[in-house]
């Protein structure tokens, strides 16, 4: 498949006062599954629509391979797009939906029929070819629009939250299917979602966006375990932020920060010198280790115990006004600390990140 790499250089989009996309730079390799992840309104759709050519950017340029495509109209860009609400053509049968792009390209009848048939087989839609969209389930419709976008052999496949209208089971099933299909045909894919699990599970690389800006680009493992900004740390996974004060300079070894509850946590020296003496320490709820309280150690009081089945969450009060959440794996017969009990805490140094103190 004639797939291509994509370069996005300093792309911005303003709607009047609102800056929906703010000087975004991305470089996406040929055949890569690349995901734009971010909460509602962060500009994911806008960026995707700019790539598809549905709206002009306010600044910057986009290259497919080495060719700048800014002046190519949307219908000549050869990007296959899958829309959030399907955008299936309701008046056309499944076959006509899939054949639409091929016919628009003026391909001969025989070739159209052949490629559509191959696509139907690949998506396991053979028996539905003559149905109308309203006679299909949501998942089937989604497969049809996916087939419709892939059959034209697009340079880039664009997907805007394609699974968000489906129920959980269908969503889990289809994301595996889409991922496998993408590996099989090797088309460069830009995938938009606000579901971090989906992003982590499907992607080669993820760009986390916030307020129109890209916060961090990296593999799922990097994004999850090495968040580079405060936003990424708080957006991905379940994180706690606690204020920290440097108490040891760490000229030879790591610097030491003190946190509420008497904890003393070591941090690599160069990171500490970047951030400074007043900082915030962030860590995931499931990384905090509980033990018996020790004199002079890091301790907390259990403020609340929440039972979720597979997980148990504890709200711990480190000091008045400072609470953190801990997630424990719920095992049968596990004894839960009672509310009001004192517990000891430990945090492996690989699981904490230091950020400059937030304005409070």
* 217 three-state secondary structure: strand
From 20, 42, 149, 255, residue interacting with another protein (rule: CB under 8 A): 149
Smaller CB separation from Mg ion, 45 or 299: 45
Phi, psi of 224 (to 5 degrees): -75, -45
SS (H, E, C) 12-41: EEEECCEEEEEEEEEEECCCCEEEEEECCC
The window from 45-53, 148-156, 277-285, 348-356 that contacts Mg ion (CB under 5 A) reads 45-53
175 binding ligand ATP? (CB under 6 A)? no
Question: Residue 321: CB partners within 8 Å, gap ≥ 6?
Answer: none
Length of the chain: 360
The residues with which 259 forms a beta bridge, in sequence order, are: 263
State the nearest-atom distance from the C-beta of 224 to another protein, in Å.
32
Q: How far is the C-alpha of 75 from the C-alpha of 54, rounded, in Å?
A: 9
Is 162 near ligand ATP (CB under 6 A)? no
- Residues 194 to 213: which contact ligand ATP by CB under 6 A? 194
Q: Applying CB under 5 A, what is the total number of residues that bind Mg ion?
A: 1
240 binds ligand ATP (CB under 6 A): no
Residue 45 within binding range of Mg ion, rule CB under 5 A: yes
Binding status of residue 121 toward another protein by CB under 8 A: no
Helices (H) and strands (E) in the chain, counts: 9, 20
Provide the minimum distance between the beta carbon of 23 and ligand ATP in the complex, in angstroms, as a whole number: 15
Q: What angle do CA 61, 51, 235 make, to 5 degrees?
A: 100
For the four alpha carbons of 11, 159, 169 and 174, in that order, the dihedral sign comes to negative
**Which residue in the shown chain puts its C-beta closest to Mg ion?**
45
Is position 37 an interface residue for another protein (rule: CB under 8 A)? no
- Residue 145 binding: pick among ligand ATP, Mg ion, another protein, none (C-beta 5-8 Å cut-off by kind): another protein
Told to check if 193 binds Mg ion by CB under 5 A, we report no
Residue from the set 44, 77, 143, 171 that interacts with ligand ATP by CB under 6 A: 44
Q: Are 81 and 160 contacting, i.e. CB atoms less than 8 angstroms apart?
A: yes
Contact region with ligand ATP (CB under 6 A), list: 33-41, 63-71, 114-122, 276-284: 33-41
Verify binding: residue 4, Mg ion, rule CB under 5 A.
no
Return the residue of 8, 37, 42, 207 that touches ligand ATP, per CB under 6 A: 42
Please report the DSSP string for 135-198 in residue order.
GS-HHHHHHHHHHHHHTT--SEEEEESTTTTS-HHHHHHHHHHHHHHHHHH--EEEEEES-HHH
**Chain residues in the site for another protein (CB under 8 A):** 49, 52-54, 73-81, 83-91, 100-101, 104-105, 145, 148-149, 152, 158
């Amino acid at each position: 498949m004639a797939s291509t790499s994509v370069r996005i250089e300093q792309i911005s989009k303003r709607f009047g006062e609102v800056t929906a996309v703010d000087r975004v730079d991305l470089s996406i390799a040929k055949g890569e599954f690349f995901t734009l992840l971010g909460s509602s309104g962060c500009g994911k759709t806008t960026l995707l629509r700019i790539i598809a050519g549905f709206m002009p950017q306010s600044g910057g340029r986009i290259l497919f391979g080495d060719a700048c495509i800014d002046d190519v109209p949307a219908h000549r860009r050869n990007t296959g797009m899958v829309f959030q609400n399907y955008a299936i053509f309701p008046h056309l049968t499944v076959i006509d939906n899939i054949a639409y792009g091929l016919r628009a390209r003026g391909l001969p009848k025989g070739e159209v029929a052949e490629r559509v048939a191959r696509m139907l087989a690949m998506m396991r839609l053979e028996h539905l070819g003559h149905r109308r969209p309203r006679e299909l389930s949501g998942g089937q419709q989604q497969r049809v629009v996916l087939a419709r976008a892939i059959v034209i052999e697009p340079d880039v496949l664009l997907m805007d939250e394609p699974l968000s209208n489906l129920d959980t089971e269908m969503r889990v099933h289809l994301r595996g299917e889409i991922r496998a299909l993408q590996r099989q045909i090797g088309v460069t894919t830009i995938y938009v979602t606000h579901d971090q699990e989906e992003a982590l599970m499907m992607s080669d690389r993820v760009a986390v966006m916030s307020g129109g800006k890209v916060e961090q680009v990296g593999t799922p493992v990097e994004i999850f375990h090495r968040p580079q900004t405060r936003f990424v740390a708080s957006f991905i996974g379940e994180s706690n932020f606690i204020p920290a004060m440097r108490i040891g300079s760490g000229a030879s070894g790591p610097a030491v920060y003190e946190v509420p509850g008497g904890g003393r946590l070591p941090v690599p020296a160069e990171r500490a010198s970047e951030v400074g003496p007043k900082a915030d320490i962030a860590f995931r709820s499931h990384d905090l280790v509980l033990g018996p309280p020790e004199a002079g150690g890091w301790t907390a009081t259990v403020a609340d115990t929440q039972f979720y089945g597979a997980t148990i969450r504890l709200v711990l009060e480190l000091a008045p006004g400072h609470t953190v959440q801990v997630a424990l794996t719920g095992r049968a017969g596990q004894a839960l600390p009672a509310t009001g009990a004192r517990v000891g805490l430990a945090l492996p140094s690989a699981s904490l990140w230091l950020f400059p103190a937030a304005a409070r």
